[in-house]
Structure 1
Amino acid sequence: MKRRKFIASTMAVSVGTLTYLEAFPSTNLNQKFSELKNNIHHSACRWCYKDIPLEKLLQHFNTLGIKAMDLVGPEDWPLLKKYNIHASMCWGAELGLTDGWCDTKFHAQLIKNYTEMIPKVAKAGYTNLICFSGNRRGMDDSIGLQNCVNGLKQILPLAEKHGVVLQMELLNSKVDHKDYMCDHTSWGVELCKKLNSNHIKLLYDIYHMQIMEGDIIRNIQDYNHYIGHYHTGGNPGRHEIDDTQELFYPAIMKAILKTGYKGYVAQEFVPSWDDPIAALKQGVTICDI
């Protein structure tokens, strides 16, 4: 996604921040990590800060009090361990977003990849491993659903043996990922029901599901038993989660906590500020309810 400027000048940035703080006085950008409540376990996605060297980014995480990083593979795990940062969502077994479990022609390679990756995730001390439905390519959703069930059934026993949870990500097919099959919570929930295992969950991306269906808090309340992880993002634009967009994250975080959720919430917005780490700090502070 192309980055955009948050605002034209430093003065305008200050005014924008003041407006937000006036609306939500509990959000204090000068707050030290030691003062954060940490009822929410904070994480952030690596790819959103791809221009920052990983080691430097991990140092920023330590300063901000972010305890985990999403969407990192085995090549990055040693450096995460050096800085005591948990890998809250592992990847590296998937074939990308478009070639996934809904199409049987990818099953052989996916089964091989996940069979190799699941033990690596467990050995490293991690739990979550991402997976994707892939694109429809003209396929009926019910057929794709059954294909996903048939394929995932072949690796779920291994995941169960190693204590690894496969997380099927919900993505929007309206704006960002045209033709992606797992684009509604109801489809993902049906997948989990058919597989009937605590080792297959949904990665509930709040940004994506706001685009596809809205009703975020009600869906979290109704389907939390099937949700294993959360991603944030501002809509429209997938930028900062402040008052420049339509989602009110303090209320969403309260709803998540009320379900008893104990996992991580990962910031996955694309920073538009000149200082992306300041934007990240704001996102974490907003969610630290």
Structure 2
Amino acid sequence: MNVKHNRRSAIKNILAGTAALTTSAMIPSLACASEAGLYQLKGDINHSVCRWCFNNLSLDELCQVAKQIGLKAIDLVGPKDWATLKKHGLDSSMCNGAEINLTDGWNSPQFHDTLVKNYSEMIPLVAKAGYKNLICFSGNRRGMDDETGLKNSTEGLKKVLALAEKHKVVLVMELLNSKINHQDYQCDRTSWGVQLAKRLGSENFKLLYDIYHMQIDEGDVIHTIRDNHQYIAHYHTAGVPGRNEIDETQELYYPAIMKAIKDTGFKGYVAQEFIPLQEDKVASLRKAVQICDV
């Protein structure tokens, strides 16, 4: 595939407002409105997109696309790229860069010294830049039972939580599925993450509820959101199965999920984290945002 050519074409189309959406049998009104150039975001949901899903575009190009669609932020961006976001007037809705990786996390004391150092350096940077959320991970079990993982994570996170509170930064642990994508990951159930949040007892530790991941590992998405929304700071989307577009090709009905999120009074960000299969990836992003704009 000629990435450079596709990138240039995508930007040209999106900035001209001519990136057409395929007709949606599920939500035809959105498709028609977009094709007519009439669709305006309602403003009740703060929309974002994960940087890594659109690596075919430079960050500068993705920012241009985001602004045209109506997004307010880009997810999973570290300090070296914050200046680009600020240039375009976009928020860094979920900062990263302090974590070691997804497998070596707070549940293992052997990594605590490194993590405490990393987060102690990153938390003030996030605050100075005017951002709020900083991602973190439980890490893999490696034979560890749930209670030991909770105990270790609590002890480790308490070492940086006071600093996060001081700088008004929220440490946000992502819920990931351990069935398909991240085998052996410990924070693979909402109940485990909520238990950790209760033990820490701070508004500066919350969860990133990834709808794709939790549909795979536990299902019952809307009921879980309603019962645990006070512990959730952020949401990610993607289609199930496959982690692709969130349209009628997959099993989740995102308008209902988004309405449930809105009804909880949620004021944070919902970030698109699907891997687009369609050739026009920008059109897929636009359509996903519109589907989630309830």
Conserved? CA contact 1:33–1:65, under 8 Å = no
Contact 2:120 2:163 in 1 (8 A): yes
1:24 shift after superposition = 1.8
Distance 2:56 2:27 in 1: 31
Count of residue correspondences: 272
Structure 1 residue 65: Cα displacement: 1.1
Tell me which residue corresponds to 2:221. Answer: 216
Percent identical among aligned pairs is: 61
Quote the Cα distance in structure 2 between the aligned partners of 1:166 and 1:270: 25
Residue of structure 1 in register with 2:117 after alignment: 112
Is 1:275 the counterpart of 2:241? The answer is no
Match of 2:235 in 1: 230
Q: Structure 1 residue 35 and structure 2 residue 40: aligned? A: yes
Match of 1:54 in 2: 59
In structure 2, C-alpha distance between the alignment counterparts of 1:198 and 1:56, rounded to whole Å: 35
Report the Cα distance in structure 1 between the residues aligned to 2:210 and 2:160, rounded to whole angstroms.
24
Q: In the alignment, is the contact (CA less than 8 A) between 1:207 and 1:234 conserved in 2?
A: yes
TM-score (norm 1): 0.92
Shift >4 Å, 4+ stretches: 31-34
Match of 1:63 in 2: 68
Match of 1:10 in 2: none
- Aligned partner of 1:23 in structure 2 is 26
TM-score for both structures, normalised by structure 2: 0.90
Counterparts of residues 185-200 of structure 1 (less than 5 Å): 185-200=190-205
Q: Are 2:185 and 1:183 aligned?
A: no
**Separation in structure 2 between the aligned mates of residue 80 and residue 33 of structure 1, nearest angstrom:** 27
For residues 83-109 of structure 1, the C-alpha deviation after alignment (integer angstroms, 9 at most, x for no partner) is 001000000000010000000000000
What residue in structure 2 maps to residue 6 of structure 1? none
Which digits, 9 at most, give the CA deviation of each residue in 1:173-218, with x for residues without a partner?
A: 0000010000000000000000000000000000000000000000
Alignment gaps of 5+ in structure 1: 1-15
Look up the equivalent residue of 1:215 and give its one-letter code: D
Q: 1:122 pairs with 108, 116, 127, which one?
A: 127
Letter in 2 for 1:135: N
Equivalent of 2:266 in 261, 266, 270? 261
Helix, strand or coil at the partner of 1:154: helix
RMSD of aligned Cα (Å): 1.2
SS in 2 for 1:219: helix
Query: Take 1:166 and 1:23, find their aligned partners in 2: how far apart are those partners?
Result: 36
Q: 1:212 to 1:33 in 2, by over 3 A?
A: farther
Shift of 1:32: 4.7
CA contact (8 A) 2:30 2:39 kept: no
Which of 59-68 and 244-253 deviates more?
A: 59-68
In the alignment, is residue 73 of structure 1 matched against residue 78 of structure 2? yes
Q: What is the CA-CA distance between 1:33 and the residue it aligns to?
A: 7.9
Query: Which residue, 148, 152, 161 being the options, matches 2:157?
Result: 152
Q: Deviations over 1:259-287 (max 9, x none)?
A: 00001100000011111111100100100
How many Å separate the matches in 1 of 2:29 and 2:230? 30
Question: Matched residues in 1 for 2:207 and 2:105: separation?
Answer: 15
Task: Measure how far apart 1:46 and its partner are.
Answer: 0.1
1:133–1:180 Cα contact (<8 Å) kept: yes
Does structure 1 conserve the Cα–Cα contact (< 8 Å) formed by 2:26 and 2:247?
A: no
What 5-or-longer segments of structure 2 have no aligned partner?
Answer: 1-20
